[in-house]
Each structure stands twice: as C-alpha cells, then as structure tokens.
A and B are shown apart, each in its own frame.
Chain A
Amino acid sequence: MLKTRADKIFWAVLAAVFLGGLALTELVANEYYYTAIYAILQATIMAVAWNILGGFTGYVNFGSAAFFAIGAYTAVALDKWLGLPLPFLIAASAAVCGLMGLGVGYLTLRLKGVYFAIATLAMAIVLETFVTNWEYVGAARGVYILTPEKVPFFRSYIQLLFVVMLALTLGSIAISRALNSSRIGRGLAAIRDDEVAAECAGVPTLRLKLISTTVMGAMMGVAGAPYPFFVTFVDPLSAFNLFVAVNAIAMPMIGGTAHWIGPVIGALVIGGAQEAITVTISSELNVLVVGLMLVLFITLAPQGIVGLVQKWMKRRKR
C-alpha cells in the first residue's frame, strides 16, 4: 500500500483529513456546518463514483440518481424491516446497488454514446415509478425516519453522520485512486480511447466495463444509504431528483475526468459554492450556478481544472 512516495503522501493526507474531521466535532458545536459538509461529502462520493464509469471508462451515465435513491431506499427498507445498525445498512446498500450496477451494465453496455446515456436515464425513471408504488417504504407519500436523540462519542446524530460520511468519502477516493493506477484502470482507459482497438488488443472489455458499473453502483449506493437519516424524510421525488444526477456529472466534468483527483476537486469547488450560495443568496440560484460553470468549463477548459493545472505546469517547465 505504501510503495511509493506519492502513496505515502496520499495516505497521510487521508489520515490527516479524517483526524481533522474528528477534531472538528470536538471544537465546533454548531450543527449547520456538519449539515453543509455532509452535503459536500455526499456530492464527492457521487462525483467519484460517476467518474469511474463516466471518466475512466468514457460511458456517460445519466442515471446516477437511481443508484443513489435505491441506496437510500434499501437503507429505509432494511431499517424498517430488521432495524439494522447504520454500518450494515450501508454495506447492504453497497451490495444491492453494486448488483444493480452489474445488471444495468449487462443490459445497457452494448449501447454506446448517447444511446447509453438515454438508457440510464430511462432506468432511473422506471425505478422511480417502482418506488413510487412500493407501499412498504411509503410509496409516493414518502417515509419518515426517526434518528436517535443521543449517540455515543459525539454530541449529536449529525456529527456521527458527518464522521461516517467522511470515512466513506475517503474510502471512495482511495478505491478510485487505486483503480485509476491499476491494470484495470489502464484497461478502462483503453476502452475510453478506442473500444474496438482495446478489444483487438485482447483487453476483456465487457468484463472491465461490468467491473466499472458495479463499483460505480456500489459507491452511489453507499452515498445514498445514510441519506434518509440525514434528511429524516425521504420521498421518491427528492431521492430520484435529477439534480443529484446533474451534479454527479457536472462535478467531474469541471474538476477533470481523466484523473482520480478531478471529481474530488470538482465536488469541493461546486459543492462548496452551492452551499455558500444557498446561504448567502438563495437555494434556487445554485442550480443556475452549476449550469453556468458547466457551460464555461466545457467550452473553455474541456479537460477541467486538472487539465488546466497540467497545462500550466507543462508551460512552466519549458
């Protein structure tokens, strides 16, 4: 794990961020901050997950919200049925959404480009209709979740959720980074560059794409699992919100899709801006801001922030 200097720095930064998060819960009591950071962390996991299929592999997925929502509803259903503790719910959501990713991948990966994008969008609508009619989890009315008043170690439940989410985010980033620099990641990049050539070179394209959709799905499920406990009320409209899907696409695009750090930077920048705008101006405006930034980056810097930095570093070297 700690083979190179870059590895050591990476793990040191992850550990420092996690410890910093724990320290924050000791120092700051105001719950607003945890709510805001939780939203950014959730967006980060979604962006990192989207990027595994969209960035590394080159398949644009518009159905992110479906994985997120199924992750959330898996947690709701299991919480209601068995009353499992949060870590089990998260693991269950990861498993369910990973399998869903595998299945969806198997059905749709023979489609390319726009057709794949539309198929994923359609899948989200189908699943939303299904959940809207699923009485056990509240159907269209939605469902309330009760969270415990007192939690061990932390001052409030939101602090606990924040720390859990922080750990999940760091874990997702570590998985994405490991994947990016592995043989699997190289195979995915080959698929993105030229799928037919990859196949002719002997790269097992279907298997790699299924790995990609499975990991993507599982991560999105993980992002969705704690969501019901965060908002305490879930209905299909909010869980399957298209804005979740748009964010998951916009953040990696703005950060840069080819490198694992891209979606993380994108999520921090956009997520941070959204929270700031929601507080200072209005929550309606932040949708507009994402749209504008997406247009700006796609036209002016299609390689995202990472691409801009790389270009700048290359110029300085000369």
Chain B
Amino acid sequence: MASRLIVENVEAGYGAVRVLHGVSMHVEQGESVVLLGSNGNGKSTLIKCITGIVQPSGGRISLEVDGERIDLVGRSPQAIVDLGIALVPEGRRLFPTLSVEENLMLGAYRPGARAKLAGNLEFMFEVFPVLAERRNQLAGSMSGGEQQMVAVARALMSDPRILLVDEPSVGLAPIMVNRMIAKIKELKERRSLTVLMAEQNFNQAIKIADRGYIIVHGEIAFEGASAEDLRSNDMIKRYYLGV
C-alpha cells in the first residue's frame, strides 16, 4: 500500500505564542526525510501536529493511502496511530514502572496491530537482541541507549506505515546515536517503512536522509532534494558545520 504524508500551510502554537507559520512539506512512500533545525524552531511542534498531540490552528495535514486522502487534523492521537503513523517521542517517554515486554505490548494496543503481536514481538527481539535478554527488566532501570531501542521497538509494534522519530539523539552518547541511526535505517529497509525524522544533529541525520527540510523560526527555510543538496547548502554550513 502506497502512502504519503502531506503537510500544507500548517499554523500552530501554544496559547499566544505562534510557533509554525505556514509550514508545507511532504513525505513520499519509502522515503527517509529529515527535518533539520536547531532548538526552538518548531520541529517538535510539527511532529506533534502530525500525531495529533497539538491541534494546528490552520492548514491541512493529510495521509494519502492508495490515492485516498485522509485528513489528520482533528483526529485523536490514537486514531492517528490506527491509521498507521507511529511516533518515537522525544526523550523516549517509556513507561518506567513496566517491563520491557509490557512496554512493547502497549505499542500493539490497536486491534490491527494486536493480531500481529506475537510475530512483531519476535521480530523486535531479533532486531534488538538485548531487549530479548532484558524483557522482564523495568524499562525505567535501563540505560539511555537501551531505552531508545525500547522506544523505537514500541513504535514499530503498532505496525505502522510511517514512522516519525523526534530527536533520537537527545541524551545519548554519540556512539549510541550512531547505532540508533543505523538500526532505524536497517528497520526501514526490512519493513519498507517511510520515515520522517526531526533532528538537530545534522551529521547524524544526514546518514539516513534521502532528502530534507530545514526549518527556521517556524518556516521551511530550505528544501534539499538530496542528502548532497543539504550538505552543500550555505545555511547548513553556517548553522551546523561552522565553516
């Protein structure tokens, strides 16, 4: 099933503070798209709008499945998960007093995913063997890297078409970030996923990117058609690479 995510002129904010000013972007089937930008430019807000945690004040967000457009604005986060959009939240946000296995099972709460629970669980344990070893450990007692693995696995347990990853590098050692990005890439290929990743660490994000957007002060400042396009962009050089 081909699916694409389309964001059109989205405006959003918190109370009187406007964060997004008419953001438009799209993610095509099978792509890895990165959303670059430093803190406070609206990356997370856009992700929250897509997942239904924040309601945009204007614009349209839709999921197109086999040519049929489904509006996401106004739907609850659960309904959006039901449509096949899963989120790996910023800061992981696991259920700390529950075991690793319970965390994963909670990812498969929706009826569609429940049917495939056993197979998906086995797949996750194969991809992340350390989680199989620690399936009975409380999620809150694991290291940051392991917690990030649980967060990714939990999101994939919902059997999504589109995986949203919000700042996977936050609070992780560089080597763990490296491994996480490689894992997400591997998972994407094995599951033929579509990935949208918000990240401020350009050098990490570029490893997975087919293409990307740079968001500055709530507006898309640059649209890069390829990883090379992003790398050679002046803004990237100025903001991230310091050259």
> How far is A192 from B113 in the complex, measured between Cα atoms in Å?
22
Of the listed stretches A8-16, A20-28, A135-143, A194-202, chain B binds A194-202
Contact of A190 among B53, B87, B98, B110 (CB under 8 A): B98
CB within 8 Å of A: which B150-192 residues: 154-155, 158
Q: Which residue of B76, B78, B98, B107 has the most chain A CB atoms within 10 A of its CB atom?
A: B78
> How far is A179 from B217 in the complex, measured between Cα atoms in Å?
47
- Looking at the assembled complex, report how far the CB atom of B55 sits from the nearest CB atom of chain A, in whole angstroms: 13
Closest residue of chain A to B102 (Cβ to Cβ) is A186
Contact of A189 among B53, B82, B87, B95 (CB under 8 A): B95
Contacts of B98 in A (CB 8 A): 186, 189-190, 193
Given contacts A194-B94, A258-B97, contact A204 B78 (CB under 8 A): yes
Contacts of A192 in B (CB 8 A): 97
> How far is A192 from B94 in the complex, measured between Cα atoms in Å?
11
Contacts of B53 in A (CB 8 A): 196, 199-200
B32 interface residue (CB < 8 Å to A): no
Given contacts A199-B77, A200-B77, A202-B113, contact A189 B97 (CB under 8 A): yes
CB–CB A196/B93 < 8 A: yes
B236 interface residue (CB < 8 Å to A): no
CB–CB B102/A189 < 8 A: yes
A205 interface residue (CB < 8 Å to B): yes
Interface residues of A (CB under 8 A from B): 183, 186-187, 189-190, 192-194, 196-205, 258
Closest residue of chain A to B158 (Cβ to Cβ) is A202
Contact digits for B78-113, partner A, Cβ 8 Å, 1 yes 0 no: 100110001101000111111000100111011001
CB–CB A198/B87 < 8 A: no
> How far is A306 from B97 in the complex, measured between Cα atoms in Å?
15
Number of A-B contacts (CB under 8 A): 69
CB–CB A190/B81 < 8 A: no
CB–CB B109/A202 < 8 A: yes
Closest residue of chain A to B151 (Cβ to Cβ) is A197
Contact of A203 among B87, B93, B96, B109 (CB under 8 A): B109
Contacts of A203 in B (CB 8 A): 78, 106, 109
> How far is A210 from B66 in the complex, measured between Cα atoms in Å?
36
> How far is A9 from B107 in the complex, measured between Cα atoms in Å?
32
Given contacts A202-B82, A203-B78, contact A197 B94 (CB under 8 A): yes
CB–CB A186/B106 < 8 A: yes
B51 interface residue (CB < 8 Å to A): yes
Contacts of B86 in A (CB 8 A): 202
- Looking at the assembled complex, report how far the CB atom of B137 sits from the nearest CB atom of chain A, in whole angstroms: 12
> How far is A203 from B158 in the complex, measured between Cα atoms in Å?
10
Using A183-B105, A201-B158 as known contacts, list a sample of 17 further A-B pairs with CB atoms less than 8 Å apart, ordered by residue number in A. Answer: A186-B105, A186-B106, A190-B106, A193-B97, A194-B93, A194-B96, A196-B53, A196-B93, A198-B95, A199-B77, A200-B81, A201-B81, A201-B106, A201-B109, A201-B155, A202-B110, A202-B158
CB within 8 Å of A: which B27-55 residues: 51, 53
> How far is A183 from B109 in the complex, measured between Cα atoms in Å?
8
